[in-house]
Structure 1
Amino acid sequence: MSEHIRDVLVVNRRRQELVSRILQDPSLRLSLITEPGCLADYSATDDMESVTLVDDVQNLDDVRRAVLKLLDRYTFDAIIGPAESSIPTAGYLRSYLGMPGIPFDVAHAFCNKSAMKARLRAAGLRVARSTLAPLDSSVAPFLRRHGLPAVIKPAWGDGAANVHVVRDESDIIEVSRPGGPLLSNDTAPFLIEDFVEFEEEYHCDALVRGGEVPFTAVSKYFGPLLQSKGSVFGSYTLPDDSAEAQELTVLHQAVVDALGLSDSVTHLEVLKTRDGYVVGEIACRPGGGGVPQTLLRAYGFDPWEHFLATELNTPLEWTPRPADGTHLWVMFPVRHGTVSRVPDADVFADVAEVEQLTIKAKPGDRINGMLYSTSMAGVAHCRTDSADDVPALVRTLSERFTVEYGTPRTTAAA
């Protein structure tokens, strides 16, 4: 008897991890909805059942009409959005069509930062005081009304992209300028928040089933996420029995309860202040950068595999397999310009703690456009015996992994 083939509709801009997994699974057949400017990112469109282009994957009505046309030919078993730009759209389609999975109100709360903070605040959880600037023209007056210092960011966005700290009137003028760093990359609404002074920053990565959280991994960033762009960046795992991990595991469950999530994989950011923990943001998808590979190495947990399983309503039977030691990922940044030299693949050959090195940049790459917190020249996955060894190891790797920029021999774009 032949295996039943399930049709999966993915609404997506450029995120590739989930698309490649579906294409490799012979029991799944992929249909894609994306934007014309994103199509070049897909190298395997010939292996897809269908490809539909829309002007904007966040335009709910345009995508709805496109899906209704597809339903004339296909019966979809699941509709999936793998990133903040399309998670709410996928939720809207499920709610509209009465399909299983994360409904629109929950998906919206995980991706619209203003709605997220409102729900968390209503549940009694600590978040930064915030104001919504509804129009591009609202940015300057609403920043002045909110008070400084503040942080302003798109209400919809991920990867710490287009997030700006505003400290004085000159910053207000720059950030509200048409064609400036904020408005040239996104349009309103924008979320304005208090700039929170904090001591440490953490992330919790978890599996949610039936509203419960059977697995949570807690990690600590080397430094503030907001200051990471252009710097060596990463995080390391904390022991499950540490006080920090236990407190943040309880906090993560409270955040999931407040937002009404039933089944998914999550990535939560938390700040530790003198007065306690403050919830930053949470996503109902796997974390970026080196987080997925670190979770696989440290616990045997593949977040994209479990994310796909929950989206298909076929949760996996799995138990954590904790590995010895402290696991960390060290990401080496890129900056705007043309890459002229990158380190050799054996740059860390004599550093026993480095178990895997991936170099993504190459000479001739032109780095332009918006840079995210996870924009990288390369990433090293490491293991140490203790968290006490992490600072010295990161310093060593930072000093050795250098990228040079200059006049290119080629004009390849990155």
Structure 2
Amino acid sequence: MLHEKRLILSPYRVLLIGPRRAILKILRARKIPFSVWREDATYPIMDAQKVVTEPLFNTTKKLQQFVNEAFAGESFTHVIAGSESAVYAAAVARRIVGARASATTTALRCRDKLAMKQYLSDYDIPMTRFLAESAVDSAATAFAYLGSPLVRKQRKSSGGRSFELITREQDLILRQNGRNILEKFVSAPEASIESFIHDGEIKFVNTTRYLEKGHVNLVPAAFDETLQAAMLKLNRQVIEALKISWGTTHLEVYLTDNGLLFGEIALRPPGGYIMNAMQHAYAFNPWEAFVAIELGEPFEFPQFATAYSCVEILHPGIGRISAIHGEQQVKEHASVREFRLKVKVGDMIHKREAAGQDIGYLLHVSETPAARLDLYHHFKNQFVIDIT
């Protein structure tokens, strides 16, 4: 008997802006045809239908012009943003290429810290004081309103890039280019809330504790019930105010003695290997969930965590590596789920400009929050990178 091999075509065609390897892996596994728009050619993508390497422009006009030129006559069912800088570009591109649309105003507010905070101020969201730098007439005015120290950030940046802590008036040289926001400095622990939203409903939520901001993330956070409930309430308020009907969000919050303060929200997956940590804590693949949400598909999320993850992001500081202690013990430890070290003895480590820059990471799991902290301290003492 002759058996005919039937080719099953995917109903999707995706434009991925700001590619991440984990997203590419899911698209490939699902045999979804895709094209890529990336800012730099850091690694080859040989199986894409089309690869465009160009900047992700900041203005709507430039974005519209580029998409019309680069993808002329092409249509996509979906446009997926894989990075912070790709969120607004994706919202603009969706309307041009006929893909599932999202609100460009929402995308802009989730990208522009000033627009975000100005908008959310009308919804009684608790947050630290802020000013548009371009609207400030003198350093004295800024310090009088915000106090000392104050923080200067670029309105459209992420991962701690462009963060400046300024303590004296004479050190604040005002820039009138409209690119920055000034904020009152908040000295308090921080945490984040990750949400997967489908058809206007939050289908899954995780809280992350920043044990050491930029270096150690605990997933799930395991806060007490009162704090957990307050965080989830704030998260819902922000998502509803911004009218986010679908997508994956990453909201950062300050845990002050006087209550929660909203930091910012991003409409994209979190960094800091939090997605990896969620996978091991909840026993599901959050990248599969992310792609499903982007495609408008339902996804069966876990109801609770089965383990407590800790991810340690490695960056010992500036200098040359003189010794690495305990690497083999880390590799052999039964609780370690992921471990990557990108450097060796003799390598030079440069200044860390953003949270996404590291020399590796260590992810381990425990059965209880207390055991997780014990294991963290164990590795902190046993796994050491010497710098000279």
Measured after TM superposition, the shift of residue 370 of structure 1 is 5.4
Q: Counterpart of 1:410?
A: none
Preserved CA contact (<8 Å) 2:321 2:348: yes
C-alpha distance in structure 2 between counterparts of 1:170 and 1:401, whole Å: 43
Aligned twin of 2:228: 245
The answer (yes or no) to whether the contact 1:101–1:311 under 8 Å persists in 2 is no
Determine if contact 1:205/1:216 at 8 Å carries over to the other structure.
yes
CA distance in 1, matches of 2:57, 2:113: 18
Among 186, 195, 203, the residue aligned to 1:196:
186
Aligned pairs, number: 381
What is the distance in 1 between the residues matched to 2:277 and 2:246? 22
Q: Retained in 1: the 8 A contact 2:282–2:302?
A: yes
The 3-state SS of whatever aligns with 2:187 is coil
1:308 aligned residue: 291
Match of 2:125 in 1: 125
1:17 partnered with 2:19: no
TM-score between the two structures when normalised by the length of structure 1 = 0.81
Aligned match of 1:272 in 255, 265, 284?
255
What does 1:24-63 correspond to in 2, within 5 Å? 24-25=28-29, 27-35=31-39, 38-39=40-41, 41-44=42-45, 46-63=46-63
Report deviation, 1:205.
1.2
Distance change in 2, residues 1:131/1:52 (3 Å):
same
1:395 corresponds to 2:377: yes
CA pair 292-165 structure 1, distance change in 2 beyond 3 A: same
Offset at residue 127 of structure 1 (A): 1.0
Q: How does 1:4-403 map to 2 (within 5 A)?
A: 4-5=9-10, 6-12=12-18, 15-22=20-27, 24-25=28-29, 27-35=31-39, 38-39=40-41, 41-44=42-45, 46-96=46-96, 99-134=99-134, 143-144=142-143, 146-147=145-146, 148-169=148-169, 171-172=171-172, 188-198=178-188, 200-223=189-212, 225=213, 228=214, 232-239=215-222, 242-313=225-296, 315-320=297-302, 322-339=304-321, 341-343=323-325, 345-348=327-330, 352-363=334-345, 365-368=347-350, 371-403=353-385
Q: Secondary structure at the match of 1:102?
A: coil
**Is the partner of 1:88 in helix, strand or coil?**
helix
Aligned equivalents of 1:47 and 1:90: distance in 2? 21
Contact 2:280 2:307 in 1 (8 A): no
Larger deviation, residues 344-353 vs 123-132: 344-353
* Contact in 1 for aligned 2:309/2:366 (Cα 8 Å): yes
Instruction: Give RMSD over aligned pairs.
Output: 3.0
Matched with 1:180 is none
Q: Which amino acid aligns with 1:235?
A: L
Q: Is the 8 A contact 1:150 1:195 kept in 2?
A: yes
| Pair 247,26 (structure 1): closer, same or farther in 2 beyond 3 Å | closer
List alignment gaps of at least 5 residues for structure 2. Answer: 1-5
Kindly indicate whether the alpha-carbon contact (under 8 Å) linking 2:326 and 2:382 is maintained by their aligned counterparts in 1: no
Q: Tell me the CA shift for residue 169 of structure 1.
A: 3.3
Aligned in 2, Cα 1:53/1:397: closer, same or farther, shift over 3 Å? same
Q: Report the CA distance between 1:354 and its aligned residue.
A: 3.4
- Compute the displacement of 1:213 (Å): 0.9
Residue pair 1:94, 1:104 contacting (<8 A) in 2 also:
no
Q: 2: distance between equivalents of 1:242 and 1:279?
A: 19
For the residues of structure 1 that align with 2:377 and 2:171, how far apart are their CA atoms? 32
Q: How many Å separate the matches in 1 of 2:25 and 2:170?
A: 45
Contact 1:54 1:62 in 2 (8 A): no
Identity %: 22
User: Is the contact between residue 252 and residue 264 of structure 2 (CA under 8 Å) also seen in structure 1?
Assistant: yes
User: Per the alignment, in what secondary structure is the counterpart of residue 340 of structure 2?
Assistant: strand
Amino acid at match of 1:2: L
Give the distance between the partners of 2:85 and 2:93, measured in 1 at CA.
14
Given the superposition, is the C-alpha separation of residues 75 and 377 from structure 1 closer, same or farther in structure 2, using an over 3 Å criterion? same
Task: Provide, for residues 47-78 of structure 1, a one-character-per-residue CA deviation record: whole Å limited to 9, x for no partner.
Answer: 22112233443343333223223444422111
* Structure 1 unaligned residues grouped into runs of 5+: 178-182, 407-414
Give the structure 2 partner of residue 409 of structure 1.
none
Contact 1:109 1:116 in 2 (8 A): yes
**TM-score, with structure 2 as normaliser:** 0.86
Q: CA deviation at 1:25?
A: 3.5
1:360 aligned partner, one-letter code: K
CA separation in 1, counterparts of 2:257 and 2:329?
A: 40
For 2:383 and 2:358, the matched residues in 1 are separated by: 12
Letter in 2 for 1:381: L
Measure, in 2, the Cα distance between the counterparts of 1:97 and 1:206.
27
